[in-house]
Chain A
Amino acid sequence: AQSVTQLDSQVPVFEEAPVELRCNYSSSVSVYLFWYVQYPNQGLQLLLKYLSGSTLVKGINGFEAEFNKSQTSFHLRKPSVHISDTAEYFCAVRSYNNNDMRFGAGTRLTVKP
């Protein structure tokens, strides 16, 4: 079975600063990787996904992530954050031959003025 570790439970950052949210996964088979954002009392919104091909994936709201197979990582980055980026971010993994998606514990991003 696959698993996901988000290394930081909380990340405070000032507005317009760059940010990186870290995600590592574990799986014995090839996987698909995802980042979701969740605003308070709402469901999940897909930011970006890695299925195959280029390891640098660009998503919505200026976010991007890089798949690193050797380090089993899929870190999320944004060069300049906004107050509106304050939310909970979840990394998720699903193996090629498995039906369900497993989520990390989440990282609370707080952008301060």
Chain B
Amino acid sequence: GAVVSQHPSWVICKSGTSVKIECRSLDFQATTMFWYRQFPKQSLMLMATSNEGSKATYEQGVEKDKFLINHASLTLSTLTVTSAHPEDSSFYICSARDVKGLAINEQFFGPGTRLTVL
């Protein structure tokens, strides 16, 4: 099946610094990618949706200037948490869809990135 990778798998940073998380589709072209945030013992909350080559669409309540999303190619999307604070500590999961192939109705999820801001 289709594989989505994330890097890094975990990161610890100091408050005020910026952190970049990469999401790659390894064996298909992801025309659409999604970024989710998951707090401990809670569900996944959609943060934003990005289509290759265009600006991301953010969910209500998500600061687009704080969570910068770039979907520059069909296999790579990045999420940059700018000026991170302890409340940004969370599990970030990306997901990708290929609307051109057999996976038209399915999203493939990455393994997640654990961000801890000290």
Q: Could you tell me which A residues sit within 8 Å of B by CB distance?
A: 32, 34, 36, 41-46, 49, 51, 90, 94, 99-106, 108
Q: Could you tell me which B residues sit within 8 Å of A by CB distance?
A: 4, 6, 32, 34, 41-44, 46, 49, 91, 93, 95, 105-107, 109-112, 114
B60 to chain A, nearest CB (A): 11
In-complex Cβ contact of B43 among A32, A45, A49, A90 (8 A): A90
* Residues in B whose Cβ lies below 8 Å from that of A45: 109
Q: A34 to B41, alpha carbons, bound, how many Å? A: 20
A2 to chain B, nearest CB (A): 12
Q: List 25 A-B pairs, Cβ < 8 Å.
A: A34-B106, A36-B109, A41-B91, A41-B112, A41-B114, A43-B93, A43-B110, A44-B44, A46-B106, A49-B105, A49-B106, A51-B105, A90-B44, A94-B107, A99-B32, A99-B49, A100-B46, A100-B49, A101-B34, A102-B46, A103-B43, A105-B43, A106-B42, A106-B43, A108-B41
